[in-house]
Structure 1
Amino acid sequence: MSTQSACRIALGLIYVRNQAQNGFSRAEENQGEGGAGERPPWSWLVAQAAKSSPLGPHVRRCVRAWLMPAFGTEGREAVQDFVPHLPPTVDEQLRALVTEIDRADRVVELLEQCLDDLSAAQARGGHYFTSRDLVRLMVEAVAPQNGDRVLDPVCGSAGLLAEAERYVRERTGLQPNLMLTGRDLHADTLQIARLNLAARGIRADLGAPTDSLSRPVDDPYDIVMANPPFNLSDWSVDRPLGDDPRWAGTVPPRDNANHAWMLHIAHALGPQGRASVLMADGAATGLRPSEQRIRERLVREDLVECVIALPPGLFPHVRIPCCLWLLNRDKSPHRGWGSADRRKEVLFVNARSAYEITSGSRQRRLAADGADRILRTLAAWRGAPTEQGGAAARYGDESGWCTSMSTAAVATAGYVLLPVTHALEPADEHVAARERVEELKWELYDKFEESYALEQDLRRILDGLDEL
């Protein structure tokens, strides 16, 4: 059984177990004793796992029966596609899996590990999910408040929506009253998102598979968070129209969706809306006139709050270095943001070195103290306390880490928004040379990715000529 199939079965089993723990009525459970009920209860499946008879058919029946309500309008075919065939050769693994899930005290940790494994298995196809270290940073950087309307236009496994719910719940001590909306182009990814949220008892509007870039959102949102695919080419079947309210005279290039995502998200923000968006470095430095005009528009409209240069190598499937962009419709002092007036200012944070190596591998991740330092810097710049009831720290530029610039100064710099250009390290020839080599290495990886994308486009054009 493939990793993807195994993860899907594990997700389904975790969902069944959580549903059983979260209010599944005893009467319905009794109906299912011995396998006679329409939805066999978790206790029945655990009993089957203790027997020597084939377990695969029981697991399939149980998971499929429970997923039908979770998948709603997608129907029986979607459930059948989600639950793979389970041959007798995997019975022992299934018994161990059911037993492990039944014994687990913190099923959410199993759920998150399962999503990590599934993301790694799907990464080559571009359907990876945002890692937990980045999810935490993206959510805490925009600090959603109870009652907010929250959107993820490319939601993947819905990790950002789940984290927004957790963030508000931990700070209020109450069941959050958030209006969560997620959209994604891929039906199978939406299935994962539904299970992830349902297993945690979170409600959200995920809708049908949707290409978010095809049209503007209908309603404004308080919070938008997104990790769109980097440097997506041919994102629009037709040339983007100039009368689209998202573009407003700054039509994004058709061969790269980075700036289309930025304008789409900016258009979705309400009067005090905030956004956190992961973007390839090229979005901050692109030299094409269309890209420069879009960055100029975002700065002139005072939408750019902060750009954070993240450590390279955080995504194992792609070598492109990236930044976290924070957009904000209102940088004046107000509740939920801070006491500092940061209108016509932009904060740049150079967190390139804020990483650690994952134990037992060479994979990089954002260091916990690095994420904390970013959030402390943001809080001080906004004039917000880092802890509830605490006092706000005093902000100051730190050489090599952060600098606050006026939008006029950003304009003078040619609207280049890459933090490493502005938050410079102290002069040290040895350190500077080493860091420049590292920077050039990741720039070269970026060029390799662009070259591959161009090659694929050229191949499609040549194949089309053969058909004429």
Structure 2
Amino acid sequence: MPRLPATVEEDLRGLITAIDKVDRVGDLLEQCLGDLSDSQAKGGHYFTPRDLGTLMVAAAAPQDRHQVLDPVCGSAGLLVEAYRYVREQTGLQPSLALTGRDLHAGTLQIAQLNLTVRGIQADLGTPIDSLAQPSSRTYDIVLANPPFNDPSWSSEAAALEDPRWPGMPPPPRDRAGFAWMLHIAHALAPQGRAVFLMADGAATGVRPTEQAIRRHLIREDLVEAVVALPPGLFSHTRISCCLWVLNRDKSPHRGWGDIDRRSRVLFINARRAKERVPDTRQWRLTTDGAARILRTLAAWRGAAPTDGAHGHYEDEPGWCRSCSAEDIAQQDYGLLPLAYASEQANGDDSEYWRIDDLKQELYGKLEEAHQLDLDLRRMLDAL
């Protein structure tokens, strides 16, 4: 912990007294973490909003006694959600082996605080660059929210003989997202599953190396599902993102589902499942939208969803489509759900949605331009 001057003693005493009066310290901490995330997001140190974390963990469906990893854990929010999910499913104190890794010492302190307040044990280790080397062990569940469009990553990690990218060139050094995908896939146990967030560019990049990585993931039958999420879910960026689900075993088995989905990928287009956060300009995923994503995923797997509503899977134009590896190869291994589960072309209605997409994209560009203008003015004022 940082050393504090003696003059802050009274302020700290007042702060401790105020916190001691709070009935639900966990909720207060989540609010503080959200405020902290907003304040430092432009430096790439943002945390995953709880609603997205809840969706990610439910999509991964961890089981008691699972080994769970977050290689870029931030505030440990995803590890907390994994613990909460298993506790709610079993009604017992979970016996999860939780592991978190992060590059920044200060962030690990916040993660330890978040876990300690909730009485959760986890191995956070010391600050480490997860991409610098492969994981030394495998995990049943990997959850991650790496920084979007990180322009660089450790050059020492780009060795040709690295087991994370066998028989292929290293991922592009200016697109860390592709390195994260292969790093996560390598850390999966024989029946391991991973859920992580990636900017749309990871699903659409046209450079040969980017296409080769997606081709590798499809040919190894690692991709289970890709979900296109609404834009604007993070306060610091309008970049659209997707939720990826990887799975090393899509055959029927306990804890996953009863339907054989080998050599198939589920695409869900949830771009319109959004609503405004009250009194802000930010968007969030609707509760109904998140529930529909999980119901669709459960039906496709042949599993019982958490809400108990069993359903039979069918492709729904504009929402979801189950595709074969051959279908994806015909699309040059592009994995953006909008290319597979697009809106039906119904004349004026289709044109309306296209205009709405362009309008939302323009709004995002205008907001970025406005923020850049403010930043430039502050820099000029400081001269």
In the superposition, the TM-score normalised over structure 1's length comes to 0.74
Match of 2:155 among 229, 237, 246: 237
Q: 1:86 to 1:206 in 2, by over 3 A?
A: farther
Provide Cα deviations, 1:47-95, integer angstroms capped at 9, x if missing partner. Answer: xxxxxxxxxxxxxxxxxxxxxxxxxxxxxxxx125x688659x84x973
* CA–CA distance in structure 1, aligned partners of residues 6 and 145 of structure 2: 32
Return the offset for 1:434: 3.9
Q: Is the 8 A contact 1:313 1:363 kept in 2?
A: yes
| Residue 107, structure 1, aligned to residue 25, structure 2 | yes
Return the offset for 1:123: 1.1
Q: 1:199 to 1:272 in 2, by over 3 A?
A: same
- 1:56 corresponding residue in structure 2: none
Q: 1:85 to 1:362 in 2, by over 3 A?
A: farther
Match of 2:78 among 150, 154, 160: 160
Return the offset for 1:408: 1.2
Match of 1:290 among 209, 217, 223: 209
Q: What is the one-letter code of the residue matched to 2:137?
A: D
- 2:336 corresponding residue in structure 1: 418
Q: Is the 8 A contact 1:101 1:107 kept in 2?
A: yes
* CA–CA distance in structure 1, aligned partners of residues 158 and 199 of structure 2: 21
- 1:178 corresponding residue in structure 2: 96
SS state at 1:80 partner: coil
Q: Is the 8 A contact 1:239 1:254 kept in 2?
A: no
Q: Which segment drifts farther, 374-383 or 226-235?
A: 226-235
Q: What is the one-letter code of the residue matched to 2:312?
A: R
Q: Is the 8 A contact 2:135 2:187 kept in 1?
A: yes
Provide Cα deviations, 1:379-404, integer angstroms capped at 9, x if missing partner. Answer: 1100111248x573111111100010
Alignment of 1:120-159 (within 5 A): 120-159=38-77
Match of 1:404 among 313, 318, 322: 322
Structure 1, gaps ≥5 residues long: 1-78, 450-468
Q: What is the one-letter code of the residue matched to 1:312?
A: P
Return the offset for 1:174: 1.2
Return the offset for 1:345: 0.6
* CA–CA distance in structure 2, aligned partners of residues 262 and 84 of structure 1: 44
Match of 1:281 among 195, 200, 204: 200
| Residue 214, structure 1, aligned to residue 132, structure 2 | yes
CA RMSD of aligned residues (A): 2.1
* CA–CA distance in structure 2, aligned partners of residues 85 and 115 of structure 1: 26
* CA–CA distance in structure 2, aligned partners of residues 439 and 268 of structure 1: 36
Q: Is the 8 A contact 2:140 2:191 kept in 1?
A: yes
- 2:281 corresponding residue in structure 1: 362
- 2:241 corresponding residue in structure 1: 322
Q: 1:300 to 1:85 in 2, by over 3 A?
A: farther
| Residue 266, structure 1, aligned to residue 185, structure 2 | yes
Return the offset for 1:243: 0.5
Task: Give the count of matched residue pairs.
Answer: 365
Return the offset for 1:221: 0.3
Identity of aligned residues (%): 63
- 1:247 corresponding residue in structure 2: 165
Provide Cα deviations, 1:407-463, integer angstroms capped at 9, x if missing partner. Answer: 1111112111000111011223444334334544676769x99xxxxxxxxxxxxxx
* CA–CA distance in structure 2, aligned partners of residues 336 and 400 of structure 1: 29
In the superposition, the TM-score normalised over structure 2's length comes to 0.90
* CA–CA distance in structure 1, aligned partners of residues 334 and 326 of structure 2: 12
Q: Is the 8 A contact 1:355 1:364 kept in 2?
A: yes
Q: What is the one-letter code of the residue matched to 2:166?
A: A
* CA–CA distance in structure 2, aligned partners of residues 434 and 287 of structure 1: 28
Provide Cα deviations, 1:244-303, integer angstroms capped at 9, x if missing partner. Answer: 000112221111111100000000000000000100000001000000010001001110
* CA–CA distance in structure 1, aligned partners of residues 18 and 287 of structure 2: 29
Q: 1:391 to 1:230 in 2, by over 3 A?
A: closer
* CA–CA distance in structure 2, aligned partners of residues 387 and 309 of structure 1: 21
Q: What is the one-letter code of the residue matched to 1:277?
A: F
- 1:379 corresponding residue in structure 2: 298
Task: Choose 1 or 2 for highest CA Rg.
Answer: 1
Work out which structure has the larger RCO, using CA pairs closer than 8 Å and 6 or more positions apart in sequence: 2
Q: What is the one-letter code of the residue matched to 1:177?
A: S
Structure 2, gaps ≥5 residues long: 369-383
Match of 1:341 among 244, 253, 260: 260
